[in-house]
Amino acid sequence: MKSIAKRQRRVRTPKTSTPMNTRVDMAYVDINDIAPYPYNPRDNAGAIASVANSIKAFGFLVPVVIDANNVLVAGHTRVEAAKTLGLSEVPAIKAEFLTPDQIDAFRIIDNKVAEAAKWDFDLLSHELTRLKGSGLVFTDFGFAQEEIDCLTEAVADDCLDTTRLVDQEARDRVHRTERRAPATARFVLGEIVFFIPASTYRNWVSGIRELCDYDELEIAAEVKRRLGVSLEES
């Protein structure tokens, strides 16, 4: 008599759903049905006009995030900007899969992680210079005119960046007297950028490196002293 082997059924363990692998859907929501979070710790008033100009120029490309009750989780500035433009609805993602604590935490973390990003000023200068003929007015989007002038003029490469002061090429660029200088020059100290009159810049760079014997830390300290930055803050 043949023995019949029982076929064992493979039991599949259901995948645990996590926010990371949860698929989100976007839908357009009536702007009057979206409520701001009353304890939003970010003051967005100064950015509304620039964001409105961005939406007007490029469209509403970044959806806002709302909770199950249509209270804003992310996108307060975009909603206020949309109101100034008279938009009746905005694209939104409803984060119903997050717990209340996760939603409250995301409101803070979404803003905080953005602060970790830094500008590469060489690449920013390249891109702004390349876009000068685009017809876009970058002061409409939060840039100061002196900032644009400094970043798009040829002398932008000569800005005194204390992370590169000991580099021979950087020293050589400073002494190119034939280059046209804008009204302002840029000093970069870590994440802090200072704009000073170009005449002051030229007076400084003529002697500050020799004064500090090209020692990077001493140069940074001297620049901070002249800019009035407390050394304890660095």
Asked whether residue 55 is assigned to any structural domain, the reply reads yes
Name the pLDDT band for 227 (thresholds 50, 70, 90): confident
pLDDT tens digit sequence for 26-61: 999 999 999 999 999 889 899 999 999 999 999 999
Average pLDDT, the chain: 76
| End residue of a domain, out of 84, 114, 144 | 114
The rounded distance, in Å, linking the Cα atoms of 72 and 64 is: 8
Helix (H) / strand (E) containing 72: strand 72-74
Residue 87 and residue 62 share a domain = yes
Same domain? 145 vs 203: yes
Higher pLDDT, 50 or 149: 50
The answer to whether residue 14 sits within a structural domain is no
Residue 188 and residue 172 in one domain: yes
Domain that holds residue 144: 121-233
184 and 153 part of one domain: yes
Q: Which residue has better confidence, 220 or 167?
A: 220
> pLDDT tens for residues 161-185?
444 434 444 444 444 333 344 456 6
pLDDT at 91 over 90: yes
160 and 93 inside one domain: no
Token representation of residue 14: 């259901």
pLDDT digits (tens, 9 = 90+) for 198-210: 667 666 666 776 6
Shared domain check, 109 and 148: no
> Could you say which DSSP state residue 116 is in?
T
The answer on 107 and 125 residing in a single domain is no
User: In the predicted model, is pLDDT for residue 159 greater than 60?
Assistant: no
138 and 85: one domain? no
Q: What is the DSSP letter of 26?
A: E
CB-based burial, 133-168: b 16+ in 10 Å, e otherwise: eeeeebeeeeeeeebbbbbbbebbbbbbbbeebeee
Go through 35-55 and write b for each residue having 16 or more CB atoms within 10 A of its CB, e for each that does not. Answer: eebeeeeeebeebbebbbbbb
Task: Classify residue 13: in a domain, yes or no.
Answer: no
**Which residue has tokens 């509403």?**
60
Number of C-beta neighbours around residue 184 at 10 A: 22
Which of 92, 114, 136 is where one domain is finished?
A: 114
Please state the rounded mean pLDDT for residues 185-201: 64
Q: What is the mean pLDDT of residues 179-196?
A: 58
Q: From the DSSP assignment, how many helices (H) and strands (E) are in the chain?
A: 9, 7
pLDDT band at 151 (very low <50, low <70, confident <90, very high): confident
What pairing do the DSSP bridges indicate for beta strands 184-189 and 192-197?
antiparallel
**The pLDDT value given to residue 103:** 95
Type of residue found at 29: V
Query: Where is the domain boundary, 47, 80, 114?
Result: 114
Domain count, the chain: 2
DSSP string, 164-195: STT-HHHHHHHT-TTS---SEEEEEETTEEEE
Same domain, 227 and 125: yes
> Within a domain: residue 40?
yes
7 belongs to a structural domain:
no
Decide if 6 is inside a domain: no
Band the pLDDT of 133: cuts 50, 70, 90: confident
| 224 shares its domain with 139 | yes
- Which CATH number belongs to the domain containing residue 77 in this structure? 3.90.1530.10
195/103 same-domain check = no
Q: Is 11 within the bounds of a domain? A: no
pLDDT at 105 over 90: yes
Q: Are residues 97 and 140 located together in one domain of the fold? A: no
- Within a domain: residue 173? yes
Indicate the pTM of the whole model.
0.60
